[in-house]
Amino acid sequence: MPDLPVIDKTRLPLHIAIIMDGNGRWAKEKGENRLFGHYQGVQSVRDTVEGCAELGISYLTLYAFSTENWDRPEEEVSGLMALLAETIRKEVPTLNKNNIKLQTIGNISMLPEYAYKELLEAVELTRTNTGLTLIIALSYSSRWELVTAVQHIATDVKNGKIQPGDINQDTLRNYLNTSAFPDPELMIRTSGEYRISNFLLYQLAYAELYFTDTRWPDFRKADLYKAILNFQQRERRFGKTGEQIQQETATDAL
Ligand code: IPE
Ligand code: IPE
Ligand code: MG
């Protein structure tokens, strides 16, 4: 396992979020069609999930399909849905063997019926696992999530359940799809794109961002370790000064 010994297991990111990008370009570079790239990306998912579970990461969110991705050519969308349903079904025994709990965020009611069922079944079958929580963002976008949250808050205000003046950051957090999970501390995007593409805009407020040129189908545990090592070299200040942070770290060590 390359680099693993130098990862400080006491300072792991609690939650890693990944924008798995570059499948289409990876395939085209090999003279194949885009779906071939998506199929190859499944091995990267396996490797990354395994790597996170072995290290003891608590939460891993994978951006698999955005609300905007519905606008792709019909054959790519249907191919992706079929791949998704098949992968989820096949992976459930491995998830259970490794004590991994599957969760989803996103507008999953938009999925075709068969994929929706497969997904709910897998969530149910892994519900009592207590190791890594694997969150798949499917038909997800942050703006969709925020608009939906605001609609629900407005309804609850109208029904007298909450008062406008009582709405604070915790209220908003509770209405998001991610209410059960802590914010990501490390966000990785593959394929050399430097953007967020409507992913967890609220939750990534203080995440460390890591970008790599590696296309998703080439991403392996070694790449994950590299990102975590990079994360561990950063000073997270949360608006404070570097001196304050060093002082707090020194006090904590006592
Ligand atoms: C990421 O790879 C997977 C999905 C968005 C579903 P892409 O399909 O976006 O690949 P590129 O970015 O076109 O290379
Ligand atoms: C973001 O990738 C969505 C997923 C990885 C699922 P895209 O390929 O859709 O993002 P853009 O269009 O390049 O911003
Ligand atoms: Mg892309």
Q: Give pLDDT tens digits for 197-242.
A: 999 999 999 999 999 999 999 999 999 999 999 999 999 999 999 9
The maximal CA–CA distance of the chain, rounded, in angstroms, is 59
Which range marks the domain in which residue 207 is found? 15-141+186-231
Residue 254, pLDDT > 90, answer no
Q: Is residue 160 part of a domain?
A: no
Determine the pLDDT at residue 122. Answer: 98
CB 111, CB 138: distance < 8 Å: yes
Q: What is the mean pLDDT of the chain?
A: 97
Q: Is residue 172 part of a domain?
A: no
Helix (H, G, I), strand (E, B) or coil at 34: helix
Q: What is the pTM of this model?
A: 0.97
Q: Is 166 a catalytic residue?
A: no
Which tens digit of pLDDT belongs to each residue from 73-112?
A: 999 999 999 999 999 999 999 999 999 999 999 999 999 9
CB atoms within 10 A of CB 62: 19
Query: Residue 205: which CATH number?
Result: 3.40.1180.10
What six digits make up the tokens of 50?
């395994």
Who's near 241: CB < 8 A, 6+ residues apart? Answer: none
Catalytic residue among 33, 69, 107, 129: 69
Determine the pLDDT at residue 20. Answer: 98
User: Which residue lies with its CA nearest to atom 10 of ligand 2?
Assistant: 197
Of all atoms in ligand 2, which is nearest to the CA of residue 19?
Answer: 5
Distance 21 CA to ligand 3 centre (A): 5
Helices (H), the chain: 23-29, 34-55, 74-97, 113-125, 142-158, 169-175, 221-232, 242-253
Determine the pLDDT at residue 46. Answer: 98
Which residues contact ligand 1 via a Cβ below 6 A? 20-25, 65, 69, 80, 191, 216
Q: Is residue 218 part of a domain?
A: yes
Residue 1, pLDDT > 80, answer no
Q: Is residue 180 part of a domain?
A: no
Radius of gyration of the chain (CA): 19
CB 40, CB 27: distance < 8 Å: yes
Q: Is residue 239 part of a domain?
A: no
What six digits make up the tokens of 49?
């999930």
Domain count of the chain?
1
Determine the pLDDT at residue 4. Answer: 57
Distance 26 CA to ligand 1 centre (A): 9
Residue 137, pLDDT > 80, answer yes
Specify the residue for token string 């359940």. Answer: 161
Distance 5 CA to ligand 2 centre (A): 33
Categorize the per-residue pLDDT at 2 as very low, low, confident or very high, splitting at 50, 70 and 90.
low
Q: Is 21 a catalytic residue?
A: yes
Arithmetic mean of pLDDT, 130-153:
98
Helix (H, G, I), strand (E, B) or coil at 11: helix
Q: Is residue 176 part of a domain?
A: no
Residue 188, pLDDT > 90, answer yes
Q: Is residue 61 part of a domain?
A: yes
Residue 3, pLDDT > 90, answer no
Which residues contact ligand 2 via a Cβ below 6 A? 19-21, 63-66, 69, 193, 195, 197
Q: Is residue 152 part of a domain?
A: no
What six digits make up the tokens of 184?
């990501």
